[in-house]
Homo-oligomer: A and B are copies of this chain.
Amino acid sequence: MARTSDPNKLFTAAIAGDRGSTARLLSLIERGGEPGRQVGRLAYPNSGQAYTVGLTGAPGAGKSTLTSATIAHLRSLELEVAVLAIDPSSPFTGGAILGDRVRMQDHATDPGVFIRSMATRGHLGGLSLATPEAVRLLDAIGRHWILVETVGVGQVEVEIAGKADTTVVVVNPGWGDSIQANKAGLMEIADVFVINKADRKGVEETRRDLEQMLELSDLPHDSWRPPIMPTIGTTGEGVTALWDAVLAHREYAESSGQLAKRRAFRSRQELREIVANRLGERARQICTGEQWDQLTEAVVGHQIDPWTAADEMLGGIVA
C-alpha cells in the first residue's frame, strides 16, 4: 500500500496482514507523541487476547538463539508468533537492524513470524511505555503469542521483561559473575529459569545455586516455584520442555488468579506512568517561549526567585 502515515489506514492494513503497515505503526509507537497515542487508542479495544513471554539474561547468555529455537518450536505447533527485541542501550531500531540476531533471521521470510527490534528513539516515556503499547498493537492485529526479549540485565531491561505474563530468565553454567549486578531483580521476576548452553560444564552447580537462592528468597509468586530448565539453544535441545514449563506457568497463573492480579497491577502502573509522562511533556512545553525567556532572565538577574517564577509559568496548573 501507499506510504500513508495515517494511523487509521495503517491499522486497517495491518489487521489485513500488511507487515509494512505493522512496522510503521510500531515506529509511531516508538517515537511517541500524539500519533503514537493515537495508535494506542486504536489498538486497545482489539487487544486482550495475547499472552506475553518475557526473556531476559546477561548479554552472551544465548537469548537470541534460544528465542529462535522457541520460534521454531511454536511454528512446529502451527502457532503464529511475534517477537519484540528490546534494547534500551542501542540507538538502532526499526527491525531492519537486528544486530547479531542472525539466527532469528532464519524466520524473517516466514509470514507466521513477526520480528521487530525496538530502541528508545526519543520516545518520551522510554521503552517502558512503548513496550506494552507495542504488545497491544501486535495483540490487536492477531498475534496471540508474543515474545519480549530484552538485551541485558540492567534495571530497565529487568523491569520490561518482568512485565510479561510469564518471565523466563536465561543464565549459563557458571553464571554468577555475569548477572551479579542485578541478581535480586532477576530472582524476583523469574517464573522459569533456563540454564542455556547446558552442554558446558557446571550445569549442576548452577542448578544448586539457583535452588539455594530460591530457598533463601521469599518467593513472591505464592505457591509457584520457578522450574529450572536446561537447554542448548544452538541444537534446540530442551526447548520443548522449556515451552511446556511456560505453559505450566500460564495454567497456574490463570487458574490461581495470579495472571489477572498481575495484569491489573501492570495496568495501574502504566496509567500512573502515562500521567507522569504527559505532565513531563507539558513541562517541556512550558519551558519554552517568550514568557519563559523573560522569567529565566529575571531569575538569572536575581530579580525573582525560581519558585515564584515556576509558579508564574505553571499558572493554574499547580495549586
The smallest beta-carbon distance between A31 and chain B, in angstroms, is: 15
Q: Is the interface of A mostly helix, strand, loop or mixed?
A: helix
- With CB as the reference atom, state the residue of chain B lying closest to A286: B275
Residues of chain A at interface, number, CB under 8 A: 42
Given the complex, which residues of B lie within 8 Å of A268, measured CB to CB? Answer: 296, 299-300
- Whole-angstrom CA separation of A271 from B41 in the bound complex: 34
Question: Are B41 and A281 interface neighbours, CB within 8 A?
Answer: no
Whether A98 is near chain B, meaning CB under 8 Å from some CB there, is no
A275 touches B41 (CB 8 A): no
Assembly stoichiometry (copies): 2
A318-B37 in contact given A271-B296, A296-B271 (Cβ < 8 Å): no
Is there contact, CB below 8 Å, between A299 and B267? yes
Q: Which of A59-67, A86-94, A305-313 interfaces with chain B? A: A305-313
A282, B40: Cβ atoms closer than 8 Å = no
Judge if A48 is at the interface, Cβ distance under 8 Å.
Answer: yes
Interface residues of A in 261-319 (CB under 8 A from B): 263-264, 267-268, 270-272, 274-276, 278-283, 285-287, 295-296, 299-300, 302, 305-311, 313-314, 317-319
* B307 contacts A41, C-beta separation under 8 Å: yes
Which residues of A come within 8 Å of B, CB atoms? 37, 40-41, 44-45, 48, 263-264, 267-268, 270-272, 274-276, 278-283, 285-287, 295-296, 299-300, 302, 305-311, 313-314, 317-319
12 contacts between A and B (CB under 8 A): A41-B307, A41-B308, A44-B305, A44-B306, A268-B296, A275-B283, A275-B286, A275-B287, A275-B314, A281-B318, A282-B318, A285-B319
Nearest 9 interchain pairs by C-beta: A44-B305, A274-B310, A279-B279, A264-B300, A267-B300, A276-B283, A37-B307, A271-B306, A278-B318
